[in-house]
Amino acid sequence: MNIGIIGAGYWGKNLIRTFQTLGSLCTVRYIADTSPEVIVNLSRQYPHTTIIDNYHTIFDDSEVRAVVISTPAATHYKIAKEALLRGKHVFVEKPMTLNTDESLELVRISEEKNRKLMVGHLLLYHPCITAIKKSILSGEIGDIYYLYSQRLNLGKVRSDENALLSFGPHDISVALHLLGESPVSVNVHGQSYLQDGIEDVVFLTLHFHDRIIANIQLSWLDPHKIRRVTVVGSKKMIFFDDMEPQEKVKIYDKGVDRSSEYSSYGEFLSLRDGDITIPGIKMAEPLKLECAHFIECIEKDLTPLSDGRNGLMVTRVLSASQKSLKSGGISKLIE
């Protein structure tokens, strides 16, 4: 399968490298970027790939079946829409678009044209997130009470988007995936310390049915690099630390048991502190799994795990979150 990749910036380079390693599944025929320096470097690095500065050449080639888009978020809608209308399958990096109407239109076009539309929600392909999802579905942790995640770092400061739009799609997509539903409302607080109007730190609270909540902390202005997810259930609790080199996931047999035989309220509730289990998880590079999944979905006519409707759901949450953030944390319904 011939594919074209549009955008060779910070993350685009990783996508190029990964798709190039999938030689048995696809061939990267084109790479498009507007930077002359990037084009020169790519030409040296990938001499058998056509490097261009105008991505329309990719759409004009009938032998190219799929397009990978890793350009600034503000351009996703325009490029993805044109690619779908030209009959190409589309992989677009997160966020799919910057507003719900644009995401909804891309979903509509992809379904009308019978073309795959997949969004780069990378963490959904992480073996540890897959293992946690299986534990939830099996009933091992019981009913989910709440979950929380942290994505912190003293890292690259963006000037074109805030921490919510930059980091939020990762953790929002994970929360929606693990809980298996979309939230009904959201409250978001944040603050701009380095640049006016561009929030460096953001706190989200997502409200789901049955009193389930998810809290997400995002910041590129923090002394620690933290990538954690904790899920608390009625039977057990799961902790995932992606910064750990090994034993990333731990399952705690901890909780509060309710007894039907009691003489006082204190005896009705009893703490349970059991074993800590470290499941054996076969690790693989999430990005390689994600890219291979895109090709497989095209070849076998499968629905991507992070398909257009999944991307639309995340965009809806992001849109409501951005409105709540700019209005000082006022609760916003997910439309």
DSSP secondary structure string for all residues of 122-140: GGGG-HHHHHHHHHHHHTT
**pLDDT class of 248 with cuts at 50, 70, 90:** very high
Q: In a 3-state reduction of DSSP, which class is residue 26?
A: coil
d(CA 128, CA 309): 23
- According to the CATH classification, is domain 2-118 in 3.40.50.720? yes
- Tell me the fold of 128-283+316-333: Dihydrodipicolinate Reductase; domain 2 (3.30.360)
The pLDDT, as a whole number, for residue 163 is 95
**pLDDT class of 310 with cuts at 50, 70, 90:** very high
Looking at the chain, the domain(s) classified CATH 3.40.50.720 span 2-118
Please choose, from the candidates 306, 301, 313, the residue with its C-alpha nearest in 3D space to the C-alpha of residue 287: 306
Rama region for 268: left / alpha / beta (φ>0; ψ in -120 to 50; rest): alpha
Single-letter amino acid, residue 235? K
Supply the pTM of this predicted model: 0.92
Residue 23 has pLDDT above 90, yes or no: no
Among residues of the chain, what percentage have pLDDT more than 70?
96
Looking at the chain, the domain(s) classified CATH 3.30.360.10 span 128-283+316-333
Q: In a 3-state reduction of DSSP, which class is residue 195?
A: strand
Tens-digit pLDDT profile for residues 194-227: 999 999 999 999 999 999 999 999 999 999 999 9
d(CA 69, CA 283): 26
